[in-house]
Amino acid sequence: MGAGASVEGDAPKPKFIYLPVVGRGEQIRLLAAEHGIDYETVLPAGFGGEYNWAEQAPHGTLPVLETTEGFSLGDSAAIVDYILEKTPDGPLTPKDTKSKFLAKDAWNFCNDYYSFFLSPMHDVIMNHAEPHWRQGRNTDPRANPEHEKHADFVSELSTLHKQRMGRLQKKLAAAGTAFCAGDECTYADLFIYTCVTTVRFSVSMRAVAAMAFRDSVRLRDSVRPAPSTRRSLRTGAQLQGLHGLPRVVRRGGSLRRLPDGPRARGQGRRAREGRGGGGDL
């Protein structure tokens, strides 16, 4: 994944370890593509590779970036900061104090949304209710469809989704700017973009889209990805051979899935088979 000059010039490329799904790692793929950073993609065991993230990853979760400086990063925020530090003149790096902190504010909002809604909802859809299947995070037993409180749990998640997306929608509208941190697109807009596309187009989420995600349509139509996001999405999928990943473009002010490429029919099955590790989905 990624194209262009590597972070270290002619030095060995960093290694990016992640699952072949959208998830939290997609923003990193897009950011690297936009900033011309090249790296080697490593797929974990159960998804076409041999990397055992439960044992090898710094925090027992994915994504992981193994840098060429001899250290590894196991947190999405740290990986994003690393890329921004390496590419201060990159198109998605905030250039002033105001945009820097507005971008950080929006990014952290999305990260909380991912932790408290998208990850638990993924557990519901993929039927992951076993304790601690995600390394370092407990799993709510109500995610099990057989649990007597399962319906209440799903309803609570739906309410949380609507509240969180409603606040983000209000914040974006009140800003009065083209992007969340001002008139220039930043890395935070990529995270908003990938959160929305995860909700709307992810294979694992599609089954419950009508129930919990209808309010995302209005937010989806307000998101303005970077002009080259279409290229980045194509690059990220093609370089990994993951033609079943959702591909989206802006058309008439909204994001729509491209009809090309076969569906990843085995994605849900592979995710279920890889349940032992507990990636940072």
- The structure tokens listed for 23 are 């998830």
Residue bearing the bigger pLDDT, 167 or 249: 167
What pLDDT does residue 237 have?
29
pLDDT tens-place string over residues 57-77: 999 889 999 999 999 999 999
How far is the C-alpha of 167 from the C-alpha of 117, rounded, in Å?
A: 14
In degrees, rounded to 5, the angle at the alpha carbon of residue 231 between the alpha carbons of residues 226 and 236 is 105
Q: Are 47 and 20 in contact (CB under 8 A)?
A: yes
Best CA proximity match to 186, nearest among 82, 89, 91, 75: 91
What pLDDT does residue 23 have?
81
What pLDDT does residue 260 have?
29
pLDDT tens-place string over residues 83-128: 999 999 999 999 999 999 999 999 999 999 998 988 888 888 877 7
Which helix H or strand E contains 229, and what residues bound it? helix 229-240
In order, the DSSP letters of 125-182 are HHT--STT-BTTB---GGGSTTSTTHHHHHHHHHHHHHHHHHHHHHHHHHH-SSBTTB
Lowest mean pLDDT among 26-30, 41-45, 117-121: 117-121
The helix/strand/coil state of 51 is strand
* CATH, domain range 15-86: 3.40.30.10
What pLDDT does residue 21 have?
78
The helix/strand/coil state of 6 is strand
How far is the C-alpha of 275 from the C-alpha of 281, rounded, in Å?
A: 11
